[in-house]
């Protein structure tokens, strides 16, 4: 009797069985997530760097000989042409030495001609003629040597440029250590800047760059024309040199430049939000939605921006990549997807 009553009581108050779990389907049950449909977009990767402007050509104006300045033929800040005589050193003593050498050479020439005739007639030995001929050659070389020294008294512009501030005056005694002025070729300017070594495999001559300088709102452009073929071990960076036009001379050598260098430019790159990337020790993965379920896919990443990561391998245009819930789902989890831009 008591057993029957107990059975009735247990049967009345026993817990109801739980419903069996069902796999979620698109549009049905499942974790709600957001995702994007990957599509090719234009992408430009740039690197910010500090740079320095340098003259295309620059030289200290100095003399090769000792002497007194006879004339200064340039104005400070003036543009000069290649070959212009900038400074003339007094050459009066050299000119006198040249006249003396030429007189001696003339007499030696007459003697050599006479001995040449006498050698043919047998009046003198061949040795006497050879000595006279040798003396003539020595005097020719001496005259050439003096002419070379006279040429050094004319300090000429080795290239077209702008003359700098001079530090000497007419009448000053100068020697090769004396600083006279500078000459800067600034029609074009070089821009030296460095980028981290991780970009080294992608650097190439012809890459575009742009920069700004203090005190100007204008943006200037240039092109890389030389890359240092080594890594600076102290900074772990690569030195690049670009060339830019400066026809009006508004940019000056030595100016600090804020450089923006284009490392990569593509018209069809695949980008995903950084939050979509699952990072392991080495591998990188994303969740791709296919038929209402997520699938873990290994990818190869490229450049990064503040918010997105470039994918170079692993996904294709049209793939749907999770942008939320990446920590809650597992491979094969059913999801309800809301596409976002």
Q: Do 321 and 286 form a contact (C-beta atoms < 8 A)?
A: yes
Strand pairing category for 31-37 and 335-339: parallel
Q: Do 133 and 53 form a contact (C-beta atoms < 8 A)?
A: no
Dig out the tokens for 92 from the structure. 């009066």
Compute and round to an integer the Cα radius of gyration of the chain.
Answer: 42
| pTM beyond 0.75 | no
**What pLDDT shows up at residue 14?**
47
Distances (CA, A) of 107 to 9, 104, 145, 198: 150, 5, 19, 74
To which H or E segment does residue 93 belong? helix 92-121
Instruction: Return d(Cα 268, Cα 265) in angstroms, integer.
Output: 9
Residue with tokens 């104005």: 75
Smallest CA-to-CA distance from 285 within 319, 314, 242 is with 314
Instruction: Return d(Cα 337, Cα 82) in angstroms, integer.
Output: 72
CB atoms within 10 A of CB 9: 10
**What pLDDT shows up at residue 5?**
39
**What pLDDT shows up at residue 209?**
93
**What pLDDT shows up at residue 130?**
76
**What pLDDT shows up at residue 29?**
63
Q: Is 171 helix (H, G, I), strand (E, B) or coil?
A: coil
Q: Do 323 and 308 form a contact (C-beta atoms < 8 A)?
A: no
Instruction: Return d(Cα 262, Cα 268) in angstroms, integer.
Output: 16
Q: What are the residue ranges in the chain where pLDDT is below 70? A: 1-29, 123
Q: Is 201 helix (H, G, I), strand (E, B) or coil?
A: helix
Instruction: Return d(Cα 336, Cα 24) in angstroms, integer.
Output: 8
First to last CA, the chain: 71
Report all structural domains of the chain as residue ranges with CATH numbers, in order of start.
Answer: 31-43+267-339 (2.40.420.20), 48-57+185-265 (2.40.30.170), 64-89+154-179 (2.40.50.100), 91-152 (1.10.287)
Q: Which residues lie closer than 8 Å to 230 by C-beta, 6 or more apart?
A: none
Smallest CA-to-CA distance from 326 within 281, 305, 282, 295 is with 295
Instruction: Return d(Cα 43, Cα 309) in angstroms, integer.
Output: 11
Residue with tokens 């057993």: 3
Q: Do 259 and 51 form a contact (C-beta atoms < 8 A)?
A: yes
Dig out the tokens for 256 from the structure. 């600090």
Q: Is 289 helix (H, G, I), strand (E, B) or coil?
A: strand
Give 198's DSSP letter.
G
Instruction: Return d(Cα 18, Cα 148) in angstroms, integer.
Output: 110
CA atoms within 13 A on the CB side of 304: 8
Smallest CA-to-CA distance from 162 within 188, 183, 139, 133 is with 183
Q: Is 100 helix (H, G, I), strand (E, B) or coil?
A: helix
């Amino acid at each position: 009797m008591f057993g029957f009553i107990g059975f009735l009581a247990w049967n009345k108050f026993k817990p109801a069985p739980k419903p069996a779990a069902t796999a979620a389907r698109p549009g049905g049950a499942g974790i709600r997530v957001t995702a994007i449909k990957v599509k090719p977009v234009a992408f430009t990767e740039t690197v910010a760097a500090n740079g320095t402007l340098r003259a295309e050509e620059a030289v200290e104006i100095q003399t090769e000989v000792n002497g007194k300045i006879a004339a200064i033929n340039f104005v400070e800040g003036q543009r000069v042409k290649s070959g212009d005589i900038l400074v003339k050193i007094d050459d009066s003593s050299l000119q006198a030495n040249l006249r003396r050498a030429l007189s001696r050479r003339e007499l030696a020439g007459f003697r050599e001609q006479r001995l040449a005739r006498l050698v043919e007639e047998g009046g003198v030995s061949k040795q006497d003629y050879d000595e006279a001929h040798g003396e003539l050659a020595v005097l020719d070389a001496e005259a050439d040597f003096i002419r070379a020294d006279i040429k050094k008294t004319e300090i000429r512009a080795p290239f077209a440029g702008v003359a700098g501030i001079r530090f000497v005056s007419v009448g000053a005694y100068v020697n090769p250590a004396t600083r006279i002025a500078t000459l800067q070729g600034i029609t074009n300017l070089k821009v030296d800047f460095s980028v981290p070594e991780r970009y080294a495999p992608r650097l190439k001559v012809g890459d575009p760059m742009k920069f700004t300088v203090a005190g100007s709102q204008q943006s200037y452009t240039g092109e890389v024309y030389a890359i240092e073929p080594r890594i600076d071990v102290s900074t772990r960076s690569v030195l690049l040199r670009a060339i830019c036009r400066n026809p009006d001379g508004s940019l000056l050598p030595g100016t600090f430049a804020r450089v923006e260098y284009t490392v990569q430019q593509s018209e069809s790159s695949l980008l995903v939000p950084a939050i979509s990337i699952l990072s392991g020790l080495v591998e990188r993965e994303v969740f791709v939605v296919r038929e209402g379920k997520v699938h873990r896919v290994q990818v190869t990443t490229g450049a990064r921006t503040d918010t997105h990561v470039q994918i170079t391998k692993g996904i294709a245009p049209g793939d749907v990549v999770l942008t939320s819930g990446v920590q809650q789902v597992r491979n094969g989890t059913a999801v309800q997807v809301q596409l976002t831009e």
